[in-house]
Chain A
Amino acid sequence: MEEAAPEQGTEVDVGEDRRLQPVTPGETTSGNLGAPLYIAWQLTNECNYACLHCIEESGPGKAFKDELEDDQVFSVMRQAVELDVPYVSLSGGEPMLHPRFFDLAKFGAEGGAQLKIETNGHYLTEEACQRLKDYAVKSVQVSMDGATRDTFNKMRVRGDFDHVLQGIRNVHAAGVPLEINYSPTSFNVHEIGRAVDLAYELGAGSFYTGRTMYTGNAVKTWQMMAPSDAEYGPFFEVLYAKRHEYDGRMRVHFHEMGLLHEMRERLEHPAALLIVLPNGLVKLINALPFICGDLRKESLKAIWSNFQRAWQDPRIAQFVDDLSDNPKKTAELHRWIFV
């Protein structure tokens, strides 16, 4: 996941009837799940953009030196298919830069996984979108951190607003479900209403945003980029209004409470989600530095079996507690801790 917005984990909807019960990986049913429900896979750390806020510090020449080889990449997808993991997202870096991106997407889709592609939108040509349509991908999520050329291009260094908008239009024209992601900064926060409107005009079915995280590239750019609390207030007010305005037409989804709140919830109810890094290491959740397995050495099934035990490691609760005293501890997310 390249963006500094909060993670879109698996939500739980309980329903009123006892036969529709919640899946909560902590102490209830998800501990009994045979496999994850969702794999968020960062295929490569390479990116053609160098965004000011990138949580992964992706950019040109930023591929990990030890990224998975082709046979390992297909082995991971094969394991996901065999375990009947229903939902796999491919992100990065820029996932479409991976030399086997389309082959892998086709392989996963044919295996029955529903795929979500999280991209900067640069490579969404008509031909590429048609291929994604042919593979029946569940959705393409494009980062559109601005409603104008000026703000978008300032945020997404080396990116071009008009070029990405054309890519977005190609997604919609191909009939692939479209989602838009938006990371707020001090210089685009005022455009949020226009950005939601634009997303709808472009054909999006979902719009995602939240508080920008202090990690990755954002650590270096925080002073010039981070919205203030005074700016976040009207930002979320607009989002509440837009959620109401687009009800039934486009899902406007946002995390208002911030990372600490979300992490405390996850401690109680970890999502049935694994984060796969480009080198095969597996994180419990993107916003924490904890690694629960290595796909170069262990099977996906073995790592999943470690997932529940890993969440109980006291260092995780301690890290979350420390965040309340020192929110800037998120700068350490790339100093991996093996649990």
Chain B
Amino acid sequence: MKLAKYVKFRQEKFGGVLFETRSEKVYALNPTAAAVVREIQAGTPEGEIPARLEAEYAAQDGEQIGREARAFTQQLREQGLVDES
């Protein structure tokens, strides 16, 4: 999985933004969502992303964050913001 060709990500203090430049649509991301996108950019296999975030955020209910990461990945796919590679 990778970001779609016309999707740009930028990290921000509040998390991050995704900008789909063809449609000029912008999405604001909370820290968990931004962390998912960073993992996608780093080439982490989709199936490993929840576990990585669960470990990273273990002190803050890692299990919940893992669930959110799975749901968010699915949203990215449904909105065409990622391509399967």
- The distance from the CB of B19 to the nearest CB of chain A, in whole angstroms, is 5
**Hey, what's the 0/1 contact readout for A11-24 against B, CB within 8 Å counting as 1?**
11101011111110
- Whether A87 pairs with B8 at a CB distance below 8 angstroms is yes
Tell me if B14 and A23 are in contact (CB < 8 A).
no
B6/A32 in contact, CB under 8 A: no
CB neighbours of B30 from chain A (8 A): 18-19, 21
Q: Using a CB-CB cutoff of 8 Å, which residues 254-304 of chain A contact chain B?
A: 272
Residues of B7-38 whose CB lies within 8 A of A = 8, 10, 12-14, 17, 19, 21-30, 32-33
Q: Say whether, besides A37-B19, A86-B21, A114-B6, A23 and B13 are in contact (CB < 8 Å).
A: no
Is A177 an interface residue, CB under 8 A from the partner? yes
Given contacts A13-B27, A29-B28, contact A19 B75 (CB under 8 A): yes
Of the A-B pairs whose beta carbons lie under 8 Å apart in the complex, a sample of 14, sorted by A's number, is A10-B26, A11-B23, A15-B79, A20-B29, A20-B75, A23-B27, A23-B28, A29-B14, A33-B12, A33-B17, A34-B13, A37-B10, A116-B21, A251-B23
Residues of A within 8 A of B10 (CB): 34-35, 37, 84, 86
B27 pairs with A11, CB closer than 8 A: no
A114 close to B14 (CB less than 8 A): no
Q: Is B57 at the interface (CB under 8 A from chain A)?
A: no
Establish whether residues A20 and B21, one from each chain, have CB atoms under 8 Å apart when the complex forms: no
State how many angstroms separate the Cβ of B35 from the closest Cβ of chain A: 11
Summed over the interface, the residue pairs from A and B with CB atoms below 8 Å come to a total of: 86
Is A19 touching B22 in the complex (CB atoms < 8 A)? no
Give the size category of A's interface with B. Answer: 20 to 34
Nearest-neighbor residue (CB-CB) of B17 within chain A: A23
Query: Do A10 and B24 touch across chains, with their CB atoms under 8 A apart?
Result: yes
**Is residue A139 contacting chain B, with contact meaning CB distance below 8 A?**
yes
B interface, CB within 8 angstroms of A: 6, 8, 10, 12-14, 17, 19, 21-30, 32-33, 68, 71-72, 75, 79
Residues from chain A with a CB closer than 8 A to the CB of B8 are: 86-87, 112, 114
Q: Please determine whether A20 and B27 come into contact, CB atoms closer than 8 angstroms.
A: yes
CB distance B12 to A34 under 8 Å?
yes
Q: Which of B14, B21, B75 contacts A32 (CB 8 A)?
A: B14
Q: Which residues of B contact A18 (CB under 8 A)?
A: 30
Nearest to B18 among chain A residues (CB) is A20
Q: Is the CB of B6 within 8 A of A15?
A: no
Q: Contact: A87 with B22, CB < 8 Å?
A: no
Give, as a whole number of angstroms, the nearest-CB distance from A328 to chain B: 29
Contacts of B75 in A (CB 8 A): 15, 17, 19-20
Roughly how many angstroms separate A29 CA and B29 CA in the complex, as a whole number? 10
By beta carbon, the residue of chain A nearest B24 is: A11
Residues of chain B lying within 8 A (CB to CB) of residue A15: 27, 75, 79
- In the docked arrangement, what's the CA distance between A21 and B24, Å? 15
> Contact: B26 with A19, CB < 8 Å?
no
C-alpha gap A109/B37 in the complex (Å): 22
Are B26 and A20 in contact, CB atoms less than 8 angstroms apart?
Answer: no
